[in-house]
Structure 1
Amino acid sequence: MQDSKQKGIIFNIQKFSVHDGAGIRTIVFFKGCPLRCRWCSNPESQLFTPERAFNPTRCLTAAVCGRCSRACPTGAITVVDGMNCYNRALCTSCGACVNACPSGAQSFYGYETTVEEVIKKVEEDDVFYTRSGGGLTLSGGEALAQPEFALAMLREAKYHRLSTAIETCGCYPTEVLDEACHYLDQLIFDVKSLDDEKHKKFTGSSNKQILQNIQHVFEHFPSLPILIRTPVIPGFNDTEEEIMAIRRMIPLRPNIKYEALTYHRMGQPKYGYLGRPYLLEGAKADEAFMKELRAKLDAYQG
């Protein structure tokens, strides 16, 4: 199959990003991820299939509108005391409620598209990439969990002379990452913890493949610009010992940078839209600790 015709599932294309690679970038968010991080800020990215979501803050209410309940063919949406109530067990994801909703309260996260359609959208802002040194960033979810689609997109991007980057959790076969690195101008790689049991508890997966993959890149792609990131999560890895152990694992090279990210809850409302619990309810970042930690990381010389 031609790379341009390869199909996959994404849930968003975000323009004018300045925090996900060099310059001004367009981020393509892929559906599906092998991890289930308790703090995930994109819960809509985790499953590989489109998901129906409901945002009650945008709902016009049944008294004013009620189009979704009238459109639903399975009775998954009913009206109770003037409010729309949703029974996920009856939903077949037919999309009737989404098509009927005038406010966007009913929506789907995720849709099928082709590499050609994505690249066309990305190239709309080509002038900004030229001026800023930006380009295309693949994110998710985990882009390389849809390897055929992601690799085809990277190859097609290079054919169109677009700068490429990827934000990745690193949890997939090494040969997939190896091929991707041949088409990348920058790799943004998360290392969350070196403790395998703790990693399994908080992300649902071992870290062994992840650590094997980043070591492979260090060894086989020594000149590739790499940003290693660690989200500092309360109750998981929020100690100096844990973060500095990760820092010591990373080679001191001019092309490799390390960043500790402050925990945030910006994605928490989306759990409610999807009918899922947020597992870190009440957790808060320690700003004073993060300030001290970053000072030590800045001073680190190996």
Structure 2
Amino acid sequence: MQTVNIFNIQHFSVHDGPGVRTVVFFKGCNLHCRWCHNPESIHKEKEILLYPDRCIGCGACVKQCPAGAHSFTEGGHRIDRNKCIHCFRCCEECYADALVCVGEETDTETVMDEIRRNKGYFDHSGGGVTFSGGECMLQTEPLLELLKSCRKEGIHTAVDTAGNVPWSSLEEVLPWTDLFLYDIKAFDPKVHKACTGVTNERILENFRRLAESGAAVTVRIPYVPELNGTQLEGIASFLSGYPQIRAELLPYHSMGNSKYHALEETFFAGTAPDKKAVEQLKKKYHFY
């Protein structure tokens, strides 16, 4: 039984692989995508989300904090994150849920118990479990244990990855994974680095090796017009060499912005693309 670092388990998802799915979100990522809608997934350490609109101003957090990190001013409730020692006593005390601890170290058997709860829905809908993040491939050992347990119990598995890991890690989970949901965020290495903080040579090479191995792969392309809007033609041309691979276009949305506010971090404020324009791009490049 392995220890695994997660930040959420979402039940009854219909957007992360076939059928009704349970999605296990691993904490920690080695990309920093400017449009990330799960910013709480990037750092592997536990974090505090502060939702000022929920705060009732009771001051319990101030009394509980041994580091004096909480304060109330005319601007509202603030956390001095340089002072915070991450004891999370404030989150335990906040019954208004204005302060939320995100991140949990648990064991693989506890995660499997959550997955098993919905096996009836999986069987009826052709669904299963999707391991996502963050980047689930950064915790290969617990991921592999979960994949093997699911295979033993007849539960369909999907691994949602950006592919920025050694090939040996993907090779290890390959025999136990039913479907890879593989992100390709840009084709030009310079654009990819500008968008995510890293270049994409390893990502594209890992994709080639996965595709040539015969693995079931669905490519997912986040579409953020201001950042990678010029990249769709290059991605489509690259994928034309793999006609067996389905590619999905995922238009940018701003639903993660509230989490950036709660982390008190700056964020990219993009514009959601026009739905008709997205449909035209799907037809033009044979995306779904």
TM-score by length of 2: 0.95
2:106 is paired with a residue whose SS is strand
Partner of 2:266: 277
Q: 1:74 to 1:162 in 2, by over 3 A?
A: same
Q: Which of residues 11, 30, 39 in structure 2 aligns to 1:43?
A: 39
Aligned to 1:229: 220
Instruction: Flag structure 2 segments of 5+ consecutive residues without an equivalent.
Output: none
Q: What displacement does 1:282 show?
A: 4.6
Judge conservation of contact 1:30–1:141 (CA < 8 Å) in 2. Answer: yes
2:106 to 113, 118, 122: 113
1:246 to 235, 238, 246: 235
Secondary structure of 2:66's partner?
coil
SS of residue paired to 1:235: helix
Correspondence 1:287 to 2:275: yes
| RMSD of aligned residue pairs (Cα, Å) | 1.7
Asked if the contact 2:251/2:272 (under 8 Å) is kept, the reply is no
Q: CA deviation at 1:245?
A: 2.1
Equivalent in the alignment of 1:129: 122
Letter in 2 for 1:30: F
> How far off its partner does 1:299 sit?
8.7
Amino acid at match of 1:93: H
Q: State the SS of the aligned residue for 1:249.
A: helix
The CA deviation string for residues 221-258 of structure 1, in whole angstroms up to 9 with x for no partner, is x2x3221111111222213xx3132122224444x211
Secondary structure of the corresponding residue to residue 229 of structure 2: coil
2:25 matches 1:29: yes
1:126 partner amino acid: K
CA apart distance, 1:275 = 1.4
Change (3 A) 1:83 1:268: closer
Secondary structure of 1:150's match? helix
Q: Which whole-Å deviations, capped at 9, do the CAs of 1:160-215 have from their partners, x for residues lacking one?
A: 22110011111000011112121111111011111001111110011011001000
Question: Structure 1 unaligned runs (5+)?
Answer: none
Q: Tell me the distance in 1 between the aligned counterparts of 2:256 and 2:14.
A: 19
Tell me how far apart the structure 2 counterparts of residues 126 and 203 of structure 1 sit (CA, whole Å). 36
Partner residue in 1 for 2:62: 69
Shifted more, 84-93 versus 22-31: the winner is 84-93
| 1:1-302 → structure 2 map (5 Å cutoff) | 5-60=1-56, 62=57, 65-81=58-74, 83-220=76-213, 222=214, 224-239=215-230, 242-250=231-239, 251-254=241-244, 256-278=245-267, 280-298=268-286
CA contact (8 A) 2:52 2:76 kept: no
- Code of the residue aligned with 2:119 in structure 1: it is D
For residues 57 and 299 of structure 1, the distance between their equivalents in structure 2, rounded to whole angstroms, comes to 40
> How much does 1:291 deviate?
2.3
Structure 1's 98 and 299: CA in aligned 2 closer, same or farther, altered over 3 A? closer
Paired residues, number: 287
CA distance in 1, matches of 2:74, 2:261: 20
Q: Aligned AA for 2:36? A: C
One-letter amino acid of the counterpart of residue 236, structure 1:
L
Deviation at 1:83, TM superposition (A): 3.8
